[in-house]
Chains A and B, each alone.
Chain A
Amino acid sequence: MRDWENMNSHQPATSALLEFDSPTRKYAKPAIYAALIALFALLPAVLSSVYMLHILILIFIYVIATVSLRAITISGQFPLAHAAFMGIGAYLSGMASKWLGWSPWLTMPCAALVTSGIGMLLGFPFARLRALYYAMGTLFFGIGVLQIIYALGRLTGGYSGLVGIKPLFFGSKLPYYYLFLGLTIGSIIALYRFEFSRIGTNLKAISQSHLVAASVGINEAWYRILSVGVGCFFVGLAGAGYAHYNVVLSTSSFNFMATLWLVMYVLIGGIGHFAGPIIGTFILILIPEYFRDLKMYSPFISAAILGIVVYLMPEGLVGLPKIIRSWFTQHLKDKRAVHAS
Chain B
Amino acid sequence: MLLEIDGLTRNFGGLVAVHRFDMRIDEGEIVGLIGPNGAGKTTIFNLITGVLRANKGNIKFAGKDITGRKPHEIAKLGIARTFQLNPLFGDFTVLENVSASFHLRPRSSLMDIYFNTATYRRNEASIMKQSLDILKLVGLDTMKDELSKNLAHGHQKMLGIGRALAVQPKLLLLDEPLGGMNPDEIDFTITAIKKTQQQGVTILLVEHNMRIMDFCERVIVINFGEKIAEGLPDEVRENKEVIRAYLGGEKVA
Contact = CB atoms under 8 A, between A and B. Distances in A.
Interface string B38-76: 000000000001010000000000000000001110011
A208 B147 CA distance: 13
B92 A220 contact: no
B125 interface: no
A198 B70 CA distance: 22
Given A216-B166, A216-B167, A220-B72, A205 B114 contact: no
Contacts, number: 86
Contacts of A209: 87-90
A9 B89 contact: no
Interface in B104-150: 104, 108, 110, 113-114, 116, 120, 124, 145-147, 150
B92 A217 contact: no
B51 A211 contact: yes
A212 B103 contact: no
Residue from B71, B83, B150 with most neighbouring chain A CB atoms (10 Å)? B71
A204 B72 CA distance: 16
B76 A217 contact: yes
Residue from A198, A199, A204, A205 with most neighbouring chain B CB atoms (10 Å)? A198
Interface string A199-233: 10110110011011011111110000010000000
Contacts of A212: 83, 87-89, 101, 163
B100 A205 contact: yes
Contacts of A220: 72
B163 A214 contact: no
B158 interface: no
A209 B160 CA distance: 13
A62 B96 CA distance: 32
B70 A214 contact: yes
A193 interface: yes
B5 interface: no
A194 B115 CA distance: 10
Contact of B100 (A194, A202, A214, A215): A202
Contact of A193 (B88, B96, B101, B114): B114
Residue from B75, B110, B120 with most neighbouring chain A CB atoms (10 Å)? B75
Residue from A8, A193, A197, A215 with most neighbouring chain B CB atoms (10 Å)? A215
Given A10-B145, A197-B114, A198-B124, A215 B81 contact: yes
A198 B49 CA distance: 24
A214 B75 contact: yes
B103 A202 contact: yes
Contact of A199 (B90, B114, B150): B114
A205 to B, nearest CB: 5
B91 interface: yes
Contact of A8 (B49, B88, B147): B147
A270 to B, nearest CB: 14
B157 to A, nearest CB: 14
A199 to B, nearest CB: 6
A199 B110 CA distance: 8
A216 B114 contact: no
B75 A201 contact: no
Nearest to A226: B110
A9 B49 CA distance: 34
B92 A204 contact: yes
B219 interface: no
Interface string B72-86: 100110001101000
B147 A216 contact: no
A233 B100 CA distance: 26
B113 A216 contact: no
Nearest to A194: B114
Nearest to B87: A209
A170 to B, nearest CB: 37
Interface in B191-249: none
Contacts of B171: none
A231 to B, nearest CB: 15
Contacts of A193: 114, 116
Contacts of B76: 217
B178 interface: no
B186 interface: no
Contacts of B114: 193-194, 197, 199
Contact of B71 (A194, A198, A199, A214): A214
A218 B103 contact: yes
Interface string B5-38: 0000000000000000000000000000000000
Nearest to B96: A201
A218 B72 contact: yes
Contacts of B164: 215-216
Interface of B: 49, 51, 70-72, 75-76, 80-81, 83, 87-92, 96, 100-104, 108, 110, 113-114, 116, 120, 124, 145-147, 150, 163-164, 166-167
27 contacts: A8-B91, A8-B147, A9-B147, A10-B146, A10-B147, A193-B114, A193-B116, A198-B124, A199-B110, A199-B113, A204-B92, A205-B89, A209-B87, A209-B88, A209-B89, A212-B83, A212-B87, A214-B51, A215-B167, A216-B101, A216-B103, A217-B72, A217-B76, A217-B103, A217-B167, A218-B72, A220-B72
List the 8 closest pairs (A to B, CB-CB), nearest first.
A214-B71, A217-B75, A216-B101, A217-B104, A209-B87, A208-B89, A217-B103, A219-B72
Given A204-B91, A205-B92, 4 more contacts: A9-B150, A198-B120, A204-B92, A209-B89
